[in-house]
Amino acid sequence: MSQYHIKSLEEYFQVYHKSVRQPETFWEEIAEENFVWKKRWDSVLDWNFEKHEIKWFDGAQLNITENCLDRHLATRGNKTAIIFEPNDPSEPSEHITYRELHRRVCQFANVLKDQGIKRGDRVCIYLPMIPQLAVAMLACARIGAVHSVVFAGFSANALAERINDCECKIVVTSDGSFRGNKTLNLKAIVDEALETCPTVASVLVVKRTKEEVNMKEERDFWLLPLLDAAYKDCDPEIMGAEDPLFILYTSGSTGLPKGMLHTTAGYMVYTAYTFKNVFQYQENDVYWCTADIGWITGHSYLIYGPLANGATTVMYEGIPSYPDWSRFWHIVEKHKVSQFYTAPTAIRALAKENISFVEEFDLSSLKVLGSVGEPLNEEAWHWYNDIIGKGKRPIVDTWFQTETGGIMISPIPFVTPTIPTFATLPIPGIQPCLMNDEGNEIKGNPAEGRLCIKFPWPSMARSIWGNHERFKETYFSLFENKYFTGDGALRDNTGYYRITGRVDDVIIVSGHNLGTAPIEDAINEHPAVAESAVVGFPHEIKGNALYGFVILKETGETRDHDNLRKEINQIITERIGPIAKLEKIQFTIGLPKTRSGKIMRRILRKIANNDSSDLGDISTLLNPEVVEEIIEHSKV
């Protein structure tokens, strides 16, 4: 039996129990047997949740790029590491071998050094989904610089805020980016941001769209000539286990975005371990995660986890709807994708489209289907299972957070029996628990409460950059000696977990606690409904009442809206009970979403509360324009 690769349910339970009884031995064996180290650790785990200090493999020395690149050269030098699929389907895709990637990373690392970047310096990466993004991140890791990737759809303001918070010395960007039939002038956004970023001394510019850009003398450099002039060899910087690897910003419900700080060894061990098990990756598989690298899923499961396992990982530049809604399935067929990992928001959008977009393509290479980012509602689960999986491929509904670094609760495909809407069981090493409002752990099943983690795991964030106090406040102050996730969850009779959404999404109606996910699930079961979001608004008698925002599948649906409202409430009554019926239902063309596809209920709540005067910063939304439209129609 291998702890690193779980192959049966019996093995899972054995390994899980060991991980709880002897967590240090468990992680030590995994670290020892599956990675290369320059020096062994002095202690596996030092932790104190009270002081909110966590150290894994302290004293060890390593370089993560040696684990992701160098060590594969002997056996997998000619294997494809990255398949780049461009936005435009007529542009050829690119297959980058491990040897080639290694060389490109080393050259890029030398360019960074030439620019004066040293171990510990922060490097802002603001690039589209092109290979240079992966190369830039790994080049930072090669020399011990800390990358801070900012999603290349964020505004100049959002970018400047993130650059200034961690005082980046350099920005890596491109002239522009292709997204569907649009191009975005990224360099112009960087120029605007840098007007308020005093720490940035230089900008490296990748040529992608070939559009006209302004190059500021002595600050801005085209990357290509620098790469051509750089040495091809670059020894990996020897890093300590707890040295910072990257910062990734995630927005909280209030205040500035939080720069979550991840360190080296624990992050590497945990993302590699979860990648192997959650996707059951085999040597010749082609794995595709559709997430943008500007999101934790992209860091952990497009780059570090796959490369640490010597996998072939697909990187797609464009959007699911370009040139039409069949693009994802076209790519699956073209590259014979074995594991496909995407977000519920994409699944729902794809399910809304005509089935012929799927039927044209051969999806027989698929083995495992994954979902992450939001609750995967039952309706979407069935579509994914029936239409994409042909009823034969396990769906892994994976729950995790920027803060957790890696997947925490998920089925292991072919091992864990799955049920729609359940993320099922914790990964070995993860000890979840549910807490009640009095701060006590709820033992026994079934149970519902706030989801916490009782014991440290290797890839947990170590701090919020520059604000350790906020780290402590946000995650470790609500429940003693526990990490609080901010999510609500229920545990069924068999111990399976279902994530019901952020706890601030819980609405109390006439004294009943209602999670938004099950209600949205019921609404989405209506055949005319594509997607929905539920929020609370004050009600004289009930305390709160429910307000539903509903997108219909057919825009311009001619059916009587009042009739649809009745039918939707009928389904809610059947599935949950009359207590969960919606007081108001507004049909809308869109829902405000974050770049990673999460519905911003905070904004909808304000609208439902008739208080849309101060919606906060909506510039980082995927679709800020729908907000106006929703406000407009909320008034009629």
In the complex, the residues that contact ligand 7RM under the rule CB under 6 A are 250, 296-297, 372-375, 397-402, 423, 485-487, 499, 501-502, 596
Q: How far is the CB of 181 from ligand 7RM (least distance, A)?
A: 28
What sign for the dihedral angle of Cα 520, 521, 523, 528? positive
Beta carbons within 8 Å of 440's beta carbon, 6+ residues apart: none
CA distance 492 to 5: 26
Question: Between residues 382 and 539, which has the closer beta carbon with respect to ligand 7RM?
Answer: 382
Rg of the chain, C-alpha, whole Å: 24
Least separation in angstroms between CB 598 and ligand 7RM:
6
CB of 98 to ligand 7RM, least distance (A): 27
> E strands along 167-269, which residues?
170-174, 177-179, 182-184, 202-206, 220-222, 239-240, 244-250, 258-263
CB proximity list for 170: less than 8 A, separation 6 or greater: 112, 115, 117, 121, 123, 124, 200, 201, 202, 203, 204
CB of 398 to ligand 7RM, least distance (A): 5
Q: What amino acid is encoded at 305 in this protein?
A: G
Query: Residue 65: how many CB atoms within 10 A of its CB?
Result: 28
Contact of 383 with 347, CB cutoff 8 Å:
yes
Q: What is the nearest approach in angstroms of ligand 7RM to the Cβ of residue 55?
A: 23
List, in sequence order, every beta strand (DSSP E) within 164-311. Answer: 170-174, 177-179, 182-184, 202-206, 220-222, 239-240, 244-250, 258-263, 286-289
Residue listed under structure tokens 């080393």: 106
Q: Based on CB atoms, which residue is closest to ligand 7RM, 66 or 165?
A: 165
CB of 524 to ligand 7RM, least distance (A): 15
Measured from the CB atom, the residue of 279 and 587 that comes closer to ligand 7RM is 279
Q: Which is nearer to ligand 7RM, 454 or 542 (CB)?
A: 454
C-beta closer to ligand 7RM: residue 98 or 400: 400
Between residues 209 and 485, which has the closer beta carbon with respect to ligand 7RM?
Answer: 485
Fill in the DSSP letter of residue 579. Answer: G
CA distance 266 to 578: 47
d(CA 441, CA 433) in angstroms, rounded, equals: 7
Our CB check for ligand 7RM shows the closer of 401 and 573 to be 401
Shortest Cβ distance from residue 597 to ligand 7RM (Å)? Answer: 9
What is the distance, to the nearest Å, from the Cα of residue 135 to the centroid of all Cα atoms in its chain?
A: 19
Map tokens 């945990």 to a residue: 270
15 in helix, strand or coil? helix
Residue with tokens 């507004």: 586
Spatial contact of 136 and 223, defined as CB atoms under 8 Å apart: no
CB of 397 to ligand 7RM, least distance (A): 5
According to DSSP, the residues that pair with 340 across neighbouring strands are 288, 369
* CB 170, min distance to ligand 7RM, A: 26
- Residue 290 CB, nearest approach to ligand 7RM (Å): 13
E strand map for 390-443: 395-398, 432-435
Instruction: Report the nearest approach of ligand 7RM to the CB of residue 588 (Å).
Output: 22
Q: Which residues have a Cβ under 8 Å from the Cβ of 432 and sit 6 or more positions away?
A: 408, 409, 426, 451, 452, 453, 454, 489, 497
Task: Report the residue number, 251 or 312, with the smaller CB distance to ligand 7RM.
Answer: 251
> Which region holds residue 609: left if phi is over 0, alpha if psi is between -120 and 50, else beta?
alpha
Which residue type is seen at 154?
F
User: What are the structure tokens assigned to 485, written together?
Assistant: 């996730």
- Among residues 252 and 446, whose Cβ is nearest to ligand 7RM? 252
Q: Name the minimum Å distance from CB 410 to ligand 7RM.
A: 8
| Cβ proximity of 143 and 109 under 8 Å | yes
Decide whether 241 or 407 has the Cβ nearer to ligand 7RM: 407
In the complex, minimum distance from the CB of residue 554 to ligand 7RM, in angstroms, rounded to a whole number:
28
Nearer to ligand 7RM, 294 or 548 (CB): 294
Q: Which is nearer to ligand 7RM, 321 or 401 (CB)?
A: 401
Q: Between residues 31 and 380, which has the closer beta carbon with respect to ligand 7RM?
A: 380
- Contact status, residue 275 vs residue 98, Cβ threshold 8 Å: no
CB of 210 to ligand 7RM, least distance (A): 33
Give dist(CA 259, CA 162) in Å, integer: 8
What are the angstrom distances between the C-alpha of 596 and each of 322, 351, 474? 18, 18, 21
The residue (of 234 and 278) whose beta carbon lies closer to ligand 7RM is 278
CB of 494 to ligand 7RM, least distance (A): 18
Decide whether 297 or 459 has the Cβ nearer to ligand 7RM: 297
